[in-house]
Amino acid sequence: MKKGIITLLVLIIVTLGFATVKLAQDGIDIRVENETDEKVSDLYITYGNIKSDIKIPSIEPGKAYKLHVNPKENSNDEFDEAALLLEYEDNKGNLHTEYIIGYFEKGYSGKAVVNITSVDEKGKLDVEIKEDILLY
């Protein structure tokens, strides 16, 4: 009898712990690192059916900016699935898009690191992206 009660309590605690961790993880943590010798600015995070684009503040050389994107909070009612994008304009006003995550839905969680390694004379960024996404 005691074994059954202890097993049930352990099972309940493990289930509650897993649920708590999962609820805390909803969304995607993004770290944008500026590995260049100049300040990088006017970057945006966006995706289809986002309520409004997320502006990233200017990032000084050698510094990083962290943000959390939660599609349950940042999306309008039409959101089902999308690609998570980093967008910016070069010196001539041409729009450039980098795919941070090629596909995600509500309930996905994970992290991504965006390394900006160089900026050319036209303002085009060289970007390396690493992502680790969990489904639900």
Among 97, 134, 89, 95, CA closest to 114: 97
CA distance 129 to 83: 14
Q: Is residue 55 in some structural domain? A: yes
Query: What's the domain range around 80?
Result: 27-134
Q: Is residue 3 in some structural domain? A: no
CATH number at residue 125: 2.60.40
Q: Is residue 11 in some structural domain? A: no
- H or E element: which one contains 101? strand 95-105
Share of the chain above pLDDT 90, in %: 70
The model's pTM is 0.79
The number of distinct structural domains making up the chain is: 1
Q: Is residue 118 in some structural domain? A: yes
**What tokens does 51 get?**
């309520």
User: Which pLDDT score, from 0 to 100, does residue 62 have?
Assistant: 97
Q: Is residue 13 in some structural domain? A: no
Q: Is residue 38 in some structural domain? A: yes
pLDDT tens, 83-108? 999 999 999 999 999 999 999 988 89
